[in-house]
Chains A and B, each alone.
Chain A
């Protein structure tokens, strides 16, 4: 009952156009105040939340992608992917998903992936007559691959909370990540075929393909620097993003595509996107602090374990709960709150925690694109200057695909477990 009232108030605040960040924060503060819980927690929580080196990956990747955007360089990379697949039905959409997949191997965060590829791909796809909601939804969803394909910030956190091996989790994410990208591509091609509004590009001869790929060489070099610096142990993801920004700036200057005015624009626009995301994360942290003290996640979890004894039913119930929780919670909060409460129940049911980690991340991905609180929706809304409902509408089919993926994982556990078991 308490839960229902809280959700209704949150919805009410959001409908009345209270900014998401402050709807979450004010509701959290109200809940604390109502039960006489000390409000001094608020400033401490506000500081605690932003005091994180991992979060720095977001502004750093945004700075890099804005520089690439202003310097018209991101287009080269996108063009290089596009010449290989552009003549397929829905070719640009396919190129977008592939670019998301490639970028996911650099970035541990969905938001950074969506923002980077989004800034490049959205204008291109709009030009070619793709439907706006489809474009937005596809990018919001494609961005979520960032946390399933390693490296992945949520998988690291999950490993920390459950003591499951992080490299194993990373390996387990590869199969489902690539499979999901594959399904997205199939869906995009079918969508393009049936809608028919999108232009298909003409097939490019092999020589030209190689040429265009060569033009993208500086960008490819940048990508190699970023991926390489992470896997060669030179830098952590946040650090490689910072280097990426500096290199991108140097590169565009050398190519004669950057001037002081464009640079300033890139810097200020990164601030807009960074802060709209950061303030929501801060609000979400205060809200989840309050519901944790209200014991809401704990109640839900103990309800589940006492009423359900069959593992399959249990996973189904957990899936439904996570889906509902995912409407309202920011992904990292969802993980930090729900994993500790669900984990003991898993062990009692004999469910493989490695498998569950991947299952959980797929549901986090879904949460990232379900309204009213879905960070990737917000990012794409900001990057694409779109309406939230358009983005959400476009993301719906992808959310359904992800749920199907979560379902499939139960019956085809090897999709996740084969790679970590073999290597």
Chain B
């Protein structure tokens, strides 16, 4: 497998993981409501675990969304994917994404490292370690950065792929 295929694969796995995380959240929320309402025993973990899962799913899935061209773009000009201007504007957009990612990774990593070394936890019942929660920023944006570079490479070799239509929609 080439590097491009590896990155594509990782993004896809991360994206699917993110999708199932949301299902897991739905299940734990429902569990919480049932045990709280019918058995009067609210859990101490559902709120915290589900918001952590939400943050993870959001940033973990970002690269997958980019790969599938699902990010929302204002479509005013350069509709034709074959033109040079479109390729240039697309590359510019990807470079902007790379820059944002680099900032998020650079500062997200140093924050994570600092909190990890100090052994910080959340202030809640669970005392979730910060290394497990804060790492989603640099991992998610790192992956998005790699995927952007891959897309950049794709534009000038294969061409601009169409936005994948949602499977089976209409």
Q: Which of B51-73 contact A (CB under 8 A)?
A: 51-52, 54-55, 57-59, 61-62, 64-65, 68, 70-73
- A17 CB contacts on chain B under 8 angstroms: 73-75, 77-78, 86, 89-90, 93
Measured between alpha carbons, how far is A268 from B19 in the docked complex, in Å? 6
Which of B58, B68, B72, B169 contacts A19 (CB under 8 A)? Answer: B72
Q: Check if B152 is an interface residue, CB within 8 A of chain A.
A: no
- B25 CB contacts on chain A under 8 angstroms: 56, 59-60, 242
Measured between alpha carbons, how far is A268 from B97 in the docked complex, in Å? 23
B107/A18 in contact, CB under 8 A? no
Measured between alpha carbons, how far is A276 from B70 in the docked complex, in Å? 7
- A60 CB contacts on chain B under 8 angstroms: 22, 25-26, 29
| A1-38 to B contact mask, C-beta < 8 Å, 1/0 | 00000000000011111111111011001000000000
Q: Check if B45 is an interface residue, CB within 8 A of chain A.
A: no
B92/A18 in contact, CB under 8 A? yes
- Pick from A74-82, A278-286, A293-301, A335-343 the stretch touching chain B: A278-286
CB distance from A299 to the nearest CB of B (A): 27
Q: Check if A161 is an interface residue, CB within 8 A of chain B.
A: no
- B121 CB contacts on chain A under 8 angstroms: none
Q: Check if A39 is an interface residue, CB within 8 A of chain B.
A: yes
Quick one: closest B residue to A234, CB to CB? B37
Q: Check if A381 is an interface residue, CB within 8 A of chain B.
A: yes
CB distance from B123 to the nearest CB of A (A): 12
Q: Check if A313 is an interface residue, CB within 8 A of chain B.
A: no
- B74 CB contacts on chain A under 8 angstroms: 14-15, 17, 20, 371-372, 388
Interface SS of chain A: helix
- A63 CB contacts on chain B under 8 angstroms: 22-23, 26
Quick one: closest B residue to A64, CB to CB? B26
Interface residues on A, range: 35 or more
B108/A46 in contact, CB under 8 A? yes
Which of B18, B90, B96, B104 contacts A13 (CB under 8 A)? Answer: B96
Measured between alpha carbons, how far is A14 from B76 in the docked complex, in Å? 9
B15/A271 in contact, CB under 8 A? yes
A269/B167 in contact, CB under 8 A? yes
A246/B100 in contact, CB under 8 A? no
Given contacts A15-B74, A43-B107, A272-B166, contact A239 B29 (CB under 8 A): yes
A282/B22 in contact, CB under 8 A? no
- A25 CB contacts on chain B under 8 angstroms: 100
A22/B65 in contact, CB under 8 A? no
- A282 CB contacts on chain B under 8 angstroms: 58
CB distance from B40 to the nearest CB of A (A): 12
A interface with B by C-beta (< 8 Å): 13-23, 25-26, 29, 39-40, 42-44, 46-47, 50-53, 55-56, 59-60, 63, 70, 122-123, 126, 229, 234-235, 238-240, 242-243, 245-246, 262, 265, 267-272, 274-276, 278-280, 282, 371-372, 378, 381-382, 385, 387-389
Provide 30 A-B residue pairs closer than 8 Å at the C-beta atoms, listed in order of the A residue.
A13-B96, A17-B86, A17-B89, A17-B90, A18-B93, A19-B93, A20-B72, A22-B97, A23-B96, A25-B100, A42-B103, A46-B59, A46-B104, A52-B51, A52-B54, A53-B51, A59-B54, A59-B57, A126-B170, A238-B29, A265-B167, A268-B19, A271-B64, A274-B22, A276-B72, A278-B58, A382-B72, A385-B165, A385-B166, A385-B169
7 more A-B residue pairs beyond the given contacts A22-B100, A276-B70, with a C-beta to C-beta distance below 8 A: A18-B73, A43-B108, A46-B59, A50-B54, A271-B15, A274-B22, A275-B18
B interface with A by C-beta (< 8 Å): 15-16, 18-20, 22-23, 25-27, 29-30, 32-33, 37, 47, 50-52, 54-55, 57-59, 61-62, 64-65, 68, 70-78, 86, 89-90, 92-93, 96-97, 99-100, 103-104, 107-108, 110-111, 133-134, 136-138, 165-170
